Amino acid sequence: MPDLDFAVESADVLPYAAVPTILFRLGVQNAVGGEEINSISLRTQIRIAATQRRYDHTEQEKLRELFGEPHQWKDTLRSLLWTNTNTIVTRFSGGRVFEMPVTCTYDFDVVGTKYFAALEDGEIPLEFLFSGTVFYRKDGGALQVAQISWEKEAKFRLPVRLWREMMDHYFPNSAWLRLHQDTFDRLYDYRSRNALLTWDRTLESLLDAAEKEVER
């Protein structure tokens, strides 16, 4: 039965995808000789190992929504689920390198986006947890099937710069907010009544009014 080991070798931004995408390159090796791997239906859970890096004061402020006040972090700082993905690894014997595209969102209601956007620099510690199904042949015999245990893992430190460059490429000087429909309807009505040409100007008008109210 195959004994597979995985390693994440590199990551790059996929520049011309329909949505922001990071392309991870992974290596897989079979420790058992004489086996031909016909294919792997690979399931991968990617987690953010948030406890495995340091945070400066600015980052701590931005991460308050996720982990609370910094003095609470010894109890609240924890690993976060980023995403799950499925990949088909094609035929090989011994080992090979394959690609794993991971789509990303700029929706600030998503935990992973909140975490990535809060970081100023450095690296994002990631954990890859593998499972799935291996189809293989032993010494040219009949096709056999085996399962990959969740104990198969790999680690990778993704540069924050890479994530920021990707979002700047797909959404230059922009950010996304998701609103309830009734909130959007009220905002749209405010924009129309005040003849405001853009959503930026609409929000600026509301913020200016709120600041003036506070100053009174």
Q: What is the pLDDT of residue 210?
A: 85
- Name the β-bridge partners of 89: 40
Q: What is the pLDDT of residue 181?
A: 87
Which value, to the nearest 10 degrees, does the dihedral of the CA atoms of residues 205, 207, 213, 214 take?
-160
Region 155-178 average pLDDT: 87
Q: Above 80 in pLDDT, residue 216? A: no
Could you read off the pLDDT of 167-205 as tens digits, one per residue? 988 887 776 677 788 888 888 888 888 888 888 888 888
The 3-state DSSP class for residue 120 equals: coil
The reply to whether the predicted model has a pTM over 0.75 is yes
Region 35-48 average pLDDT: 95
CA atoms of 64 and 55, how far apart (whole Å): 12
Q: What is the pLDDT of residue 147?
A: 94
Of the candidates 44, 24, 34, the residue with the CA atom closest to the CA atom of residue 152: 44
Could you read off the pLDDT of 102-132 as tens digits, one per residue? 999 888 778 999 999 999 999 999 999 999 9
**How would you label 49-64 residue by residue, b for 16+ Cβ within 10 Å and e otherwise?**
bbeeeebeeebeebbe
Q: What is the pLDDT of residue 71?
A: 92
CA atoms of 3 and 126, how far apart (whole Å): 23
